């Protein structure tokens, strides 16, 4: 292929330095990044989606993280490339969230805009948004009181897990447990209606 | 029956796991160990589906805004600590309520009577499930969903029960669900050409990304590259609508600013094409040769002024080696031409001549394309 025809030393690539890796290492830096991408990109994007609430943003942040990885000056010094990639991406996501919050305070129009972007629930195989919301509302009503409170404070009132924990005088671990149980309950209520035979995939 | 019950239990377990992962990933930092465990778990397709569903629920719950918080009395009466799924707790709760009332107390003590009471409770819950089921609207997706997938480089034709057909491109996945008043197909990924049998009573709806394409009887091609979707009509007419919830705030914002809201839906005729992005924003309607849009069925991928980013996503569905783009300027290069599905290597070799890019093979499975200027 193309790469084979071009001797590496004719065109040294400062951005993709194979030089940072010891000759004993069979795998070049570019290959390591490519393998990371191939094996774990989906999993990385899912982590970012959980944090960012918009698939578009998640993809953008993941991409930026790869670009940063490829631009590292001395990649040889990064021994845990995968951990580094995830950490970089999560930091970028956190930056974005902070930036967004700050902007929202400054400019109401920007706030509207971001609100509109994040508030669009994507359809599940044709379930319309209102029906989905109704089922979720019913599921949340069914939750035990403390579990419901934790979920609403964290999700709707946008308190962090720690803030919610302080408000309810509980351990953050318990709050996470409540929120997870609440979410699972919402999803099960939906699955109940959509596939009576129990899973079609 | 047992296998259905087991399947259901497995699904519920998966959902619980997915929800726990979701909460953990959102609110804590990940150690190297966490990342390993997460990658292992999320490798499994069923887990991915459960996790993605949980992510969607989280987003939809945004609209719960006005739900009241529980009262102090409710909180005090509640002893749920989250160690079991909510559903198990609710069964326990209901038995506790019965236990508190004197009449039921003796029933739960006597084994025979308690058996009868349990049976009655089971009968009641079955009835409740049916009753709730009845109440949901008819077009709700209580109908079986069939999933069809193709592998890289593979094509397949699906014949549907109503006489419609779907030509699946490579690495494509569709979920088909037919109800009495609606035919729904979700294009999860890839590309497909739809020939829709005429039925005015049952519109044929293709959901792809953040949009939906509705037809009564016609033929059209839908290509999905990640979040971007391109719809081309080869016969008749279709309506393309973005799947965005109505947001009053957005309307207000638009009223205050000079910018106009993008159109919510548009109608396409034969020879027309429209694209929309991950936010469901519809682009301008363009003229497009139907033969070009469907050339993929004959082994050719044809493009006119297409950003390289999308060309590559498309080609990757046919290529054993996955092409990766190294920088934004390469992604934005505009490509016009034909790629033969069985001659992708030749196409790659020619790229360096027409674009300022360098093609590097990083390993047996990957090819990097990056700008020559960037170095």
Q: What is the mean pLDDT of chain B?
A: 79
Calculate how close chain A gets to B149, using CA atoms only, in Å.
Answer: 11
Instruction: Quote the crossing angle between the two packed helices A172-194 and B2-27, to the nearest 10°.
Output: 140
Contact list, B360 vs chain A (CB under 8 Å) = 2-3, 6, 16, 30
The model carries a pTM of 0.46
For residue A171, the chain B residue with the least C-alpha distance is B81
pLDDT at B115: 52
Better-predicted residue by pLDDT, B238 or B125: B238
Q: Residue B97: what are its φ and ψ, rounded to 5°? A: -60, -45
Is the CB of A116 inside 8 Å of chain B's CB atoms? yes
Cα B251 from Cα B235, distance rounded (Å): 35
Better-predicted residue by pLDDT, B202 or A32: B202
Better-predicted residue by pLDDT, B25 or B241: B25
Task: Determine, for residues B253 and A109 on separate chains, whether the beta-carbon distance falls below 8 Å.
Answer: yes
Q: Which two tokens mark B117? A: 């009471």
**B33 pLDDT more than 80:** yes
Task: Determine, for residues B363 and A188 on separate chains, whether the beta-carbon distance falls below 8 Å.
Answer: no
Q: Is the dihedral of CA A74, A76, A82, A87 positive or negative?
A: negative
Where in B134-203 does DSSP place strands (E)? Answer: 146-149, 156-159, 165-168, 173-179, 182-195
Contacts of residue A65, Cβ cutoff 8 Å, sequence gap at least 6: A44, A85, A88, A89, A92
pLDDT at B192: 96
Task: Find the range with the poorest average confidence among A128-142, B35-49, B95-109, B347-361.
Answer: B95-109
Cα B313 from Cα A110, distance rounded (Å): 32
Contact list, A46 vs chain B (CB under 8 Å) = 25, 42, 48, 51-52, 55
Task: Determine, for residues A152 and B62 on separate chains, whether the beta-carbon distance falls below 8 Å.
Answer: no
C-alpha distances in angstroms, B260 versus A113, A117, B252?
13, 16, 11
CB pairs under 8 A between A and B: 324
Nearest to A30 among B59, B247, B362 (CB): B362
Task: Determine, for residues B24 and A176 on separate chains, whether the beta-carbon distance falls below 8 Å.
Answer: yes
**B369 pLDDT more than 80:** yes
Cα A70 from Cα A60, distance rounded (Å): 15
Is the CB of A174 inside 8 Å of chain B's CB atoms? yes
Cα A69 from Cα A42, distance rounded (Å): 17
For residue A177, the chain B residue with the least C-alpha distance is B82
Buried b (16+ CB within 10 A) or exposed e, B48-71: bbbbbbbbbbbbbbbbbeebeebe
**B206 pLDDT more than 70:** yes
**Confidence class for position B119, pLDDT limits 50, 70, 90:** low
Is the CB of A25 inside 8 Å of chain B's CB atoms? no
């Amino acid at each position: 292929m193309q790469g084979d025809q071009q001797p590496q030393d004719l065109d040294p690539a400062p951005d993709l330095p194979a030089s940072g890796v010891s000759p004993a290492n069979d795998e070049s830096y570019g290959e390591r990044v490519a393998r990371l991408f191939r094996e774990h990109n989906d999993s990385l994007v899912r982590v970012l989606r959980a944090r960012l609430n918009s698939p578009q943003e998640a993809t953008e942040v993941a991409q930026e993280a790869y670009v940063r990885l490829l631009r590292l000056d001395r990649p040889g010094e990064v021994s845990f490339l995968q951990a580094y990639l995830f950490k970089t991406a999560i930091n970028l996501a956190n930056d974005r969230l902070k930036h967004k919050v700050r902007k929202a305070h400054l400019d109401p129009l920007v706030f509207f805009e971001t609100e509109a972007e994040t508030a669009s629930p994507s359809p599940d195989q044709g379930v319309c948004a209102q029906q989905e919301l109704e089922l979720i509302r019913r599921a949340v009503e069914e939750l035990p009181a403390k579990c419901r409170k934790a979920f609403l404070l964290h999700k709707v009132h946008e308190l962090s897990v720690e803030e919610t924990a302080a408000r309810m005088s509980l351990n953050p671990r318990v709050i996470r447990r409540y929120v997870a149980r609440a979410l699972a309950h919402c999803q099960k209520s939906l699955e109940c209606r959509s596939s009576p035979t129990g899973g079609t995939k | 029956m047992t296998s259905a019950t087991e399947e259901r239990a497995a699904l519920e377990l998966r959902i619980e796991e997915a929800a726990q992962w979701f909460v953990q990933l959102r609110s804590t930092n990940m150690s190297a160990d966490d990342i390993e465990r997460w990658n292992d778990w999320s490798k499994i397709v069923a887990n991915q589906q459960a996790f993605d569903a949980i992510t969607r629920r989280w987003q939809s719950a945004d609209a719960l805004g006005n739900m009241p918080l529980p009262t102090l009395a409710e909180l005090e009466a509640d002893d749920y600590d989250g160690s079991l799924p909510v559903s198990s707790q609710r069964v326990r709760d209901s038995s506790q309520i019965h236990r508190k009332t004197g009449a039921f107390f003796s029933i739960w003590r006597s084994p025979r009577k308690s058996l009868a009471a349990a049976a009655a409770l089971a009968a009641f819950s079955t009835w409740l499930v049916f009753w709730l089921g009845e109440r949901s609207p008819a077009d709700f997706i209580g109908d079986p969903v069939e999933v069809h997938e193709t592998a890289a480089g593979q094509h397949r034709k699906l014949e549907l029960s109503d006489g419609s057909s779907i030509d699946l491109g490579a690495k494509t996945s569709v979920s088909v669900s037919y109800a009495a008043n609606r035919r729904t197909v979700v294009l999860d990924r890839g590309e497909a050409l739809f020939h829709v049998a005429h039925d005015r009573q049952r519109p044929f709806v293709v959901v792809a990304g953040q949009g939906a394409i509705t037809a009564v009887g016609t033929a059209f091609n839908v290509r999905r590259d990640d979040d971007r979707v391109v719809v081309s009509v080869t016969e008749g007419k279709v309506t393309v609508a973005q799947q965005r919830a109505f947001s009053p705030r957005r309307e207000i914002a638009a009223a205050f600013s000079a910018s106009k809201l993008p159109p919510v839906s548009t109608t396409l005729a034969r020879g027309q094409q429209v694209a929309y992005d991950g936010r469901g924003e519809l682009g301008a309607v363009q003229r497009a040769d139907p033969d070009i849009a469907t050339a993929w069925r004959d082994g050719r991928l044809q493009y006119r002024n297409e950003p390289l980013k999308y060309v590559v996503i498309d080609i990757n569905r046919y290529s054993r080696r996955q092409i990766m783009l190294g920088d934004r300027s390469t992604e934005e290069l505009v490509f016009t031409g034909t790629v033969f599905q069985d001659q992708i290597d030749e196409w790659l070799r020619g790229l360096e001549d027409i674009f300022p890019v360098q093609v590097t093979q990083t390993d047996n499975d990957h090819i990097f394309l990056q700008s020559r200027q960037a170095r």
